[in-house]
Amino acid sequence: MLRLVAVNSFFFHIALRRKEASTFQFDMSVRELLENVAGTVFVDPRYKSIELTTSPQDSLRSMLPLLQVKRKEYSDYFLSNKKKKS
């Protein structure tokens, strides 16, 4: 299961293993994500902290496919919020 999490202006893809998926299937899926999404980094859960460097291009490359697929949902959401503030 893949989730997109936003904290302020930072976006994170978090991969969680479903109970019915084997560890092997999960590892293969994570490997595929790392290979196909530019700027993606595996964070070892044993680390207490991590520092990542990124660029606007990395962010755009990782978010653009989602934004393109969900364009209407994002437009509707922002339009709805804009109307609430008016």
Every domain of the chain and the residues it spans: 2-85
Q: Residue 71 corresponds to which tokens in the numbers above?
A: 């364009």
Q: Residue 1 corresponds to which tokens in the numbers above?
A: 């299961």
For 26-40, what is each residue's pLDDT tens digit? 888 888 888 887 777
Asked if residue 55 lies in contact with residue 33, where contact means CB atoms within 8 angstroms, the answer is no
The C-alpha atoms of residue 17 and residue 39 are separated, in whole angstroms, by 22
Q: What is the pLDDT of residue 72?
A: 92
What percent of the chain has pLDDT above 90?
Answer: 2
Residue 4's nearest CA partner among 75, 62, 44 is 62
Q: What is the pLDDT of residue 9?
A: 66
* Eight-class DSSP state of 46: T
Assess whether pLDDT exceeds 70 at residue 53. Answer: yes
For residues 10-31, give the mean pLDDT.
83
Q: Is the pTM here over 0.85, yes or no?
A: no
Top-confidence residue, 9 or 77? 77
For residue 38, give every residue at least 6 positions away whose Cβ sits within 8 Å of its Cβ, in sequence order, or none. Answer: 58, 61, 62
